[in-house]
Amino acid sequence: MAFRFLVQTFGCQMNVHDSDRMDGVLRAAGGTPVPTAEEADLIVLNTCSVREKAEQKLRSEVGKLAPLKRARPELVLAVAGCVAQQEGEKLLERVRHLDLVIGPDNIAELPALVMEQLAGGPPTARTVFDVAAPRFLTAAPAPGRAPPVALVTTMKGCDERCSFCIVPTTRGPERYRSARDVVDEVRRFVDAGSREVLLLGQTVDSFRDPALPPPGSDDPDETQFPHLLRAIARDVPALARLRYTSPHPRHATASLAQAHADLDVLARHVHLPVQSGSDRVLRRMIRRYTRAEYVARARRLAAARPGMTLSTDVIVGFPGETDDDFEQTLSLVREVGFVALFGFKYSPRPSTPALRLGDDVSDPQKSERLARLFEVVDAQGAAHLATLVGTRQRVLVEGASKSEKGDGPATRVQGRTDRNEIVHVEAEGAAEALVGHLVDVEIVRAHRHSLLGRATGPLPPAGPRARRSLPLVAPSAE
């Protein structure tokens, strides 16, 4: 049955990846993507519940679609992702104009469920974890149509159970793909034109694959993730850049740092979520490392390659966080020298252990701490960017520059360096042709969060490219 669909994505890169897979299964079932809700027979809202704000946004988006559903009762309205998994059937009871609720592990069943709905079936919720037989939907990009940066999942779920986090509830226990499957998907993307791969996992560095050699280490936190990185580098030599997100600091082991030292393909940037600089708060968060351990691991990673940079996630206003605890977080941010940071106010999430601790830091206090945190990291980030003016950088161009205005031929595109710095690239009359290419750029100006550069050297010939523009580093599921 032919139908038109729209998938709207909220939240992290894992959701971007899941939306890509939904797009794939819906197209294979006869669906055609459309750009607006008005044109669609099916609208899927792929949701995030990691923070209260994200969940509120989803509720407001669902509310906005109510008039459309009233005007066109045959329109199928679906909620997928973490809110779907968290709420299940209850969501159908609460939002009467909703037809379908589908969990992250049930994407393969989406076409069949949509067909039932298009045929007038009753509202349905499908939110079953595939713990016994994990399924990982893989991409089959057509030659020349792969995005410059491909997202490849390595695992799903999380066994950590940090006290503030809903992910173990919404994404289930850890399950891994085989290294062979991951390497094969990376190769398919690269063969189809992708230059960079971003490996995804809730704790991407906890990777285990029985088919890989054992880590051979006394360190109980050692995993097979460094082996996976080496396997990709060895078996897909045409890959230009390899990144991963988000590692858990516990598994940022000596062999991971050694992989960074040995493998040129690995980006010189790691996003290593810390959440707090206070041992007291880290204990209450159940992060399973101390401040000193985090700093030692971050330093080891930073020392692995010249010019390596780090970014992080921080939660302010965790229950019981005192002024002194927060000062320790600020001092850690200075000590490690992060160049970017995602900061969030703590918000109580359902089914999390931290609910028992209350929410005793006032919202104005949280706002003030967040502002101070950004002040420190923005200054560090800006100082770092300023050092790059006058240097030459290699930029993977991903698409039109967000700063580009007007309908004429693009004169600016944007991309990233291997350290994840955003660079707006000027190339008079030829900017479009740069998309999907690694381009040598001279940096002429530093902005607050990005750089401006001019392409140097020969420009590549124009050709069709698929695009995806990613945020600098998406906040992890933390």
Residues in contact with ligand SF4 by CB under 6 A are: 158, 160-162, 165, 167-168, 202-203, 248, 477-478
Which one, 127 or 203, has the nearer CB to ligand SF4? 203
Amino acid at 402: K
DSSP secondary-structure letter at 3? E
Ramachandran angles phi, psi of 191, nearest 5°? -60, -30
Question: What is the nearest approach in angstroms of ligand SF4 to the Cβ of residue 447?
Answer: 31
Count of H helices and E strands in the chain?
14, 19
We find the least distance from the C-beta atom of residue 277 to ligand SF4, in angstroms, to be 16
Q: How far is the CB of 202 from ligand SF4 (least distance, A)?
A: 4
Please say which residue, 179 or 204, places its beta carbon nearer to ligand SF4.
204
Query: What burial class does residue 353 get, using C-beta atoms within 10 Å of its C-beta: 0-12 exposed, 13-18 middle, 19+ buried?
Result: middle
Whole-Å CA distances, 141 to 29, 231, 306, 461: 16, 21, 34, 22
Residue 408, sorted as left (phi over 0), alpha (psi -120 to 50) or beta, turns out to be beta
> Whole-angstrom Cα distance, residue 161 to residue 119?
41
| 316 contact partners, CB below 8 Å, separation of at least 6 | 326, 329, 343, 344, 345, 346, 361, 366, 369, 370, 373
Q: Nearest distance from residue 246's CB to ligand SF4, in Å?
A: 7
**Helix %, strand %, coil % of the chain (to 5):** 35, 20, 45
Q: How far is the CB of 168 from ligand SF4 (least distance, A)?
A: 5
- Least distance to ligand SF4, CB of residue 18, Å: 15
**Which residue type sits at 368?**
E
> Judged by CB, which is closer to ligand SF4: 82, or 441?
82
Question: CB-wise, 154 or 203, nearer to ligand SF4?
Answer: 203
Cβ of residue 446: shortest distance to ligand SF4, in angstroms? 32
Nearer CB in complex with ligand SF4: 10/189: 10
By residue count, the chain amounts to: 478
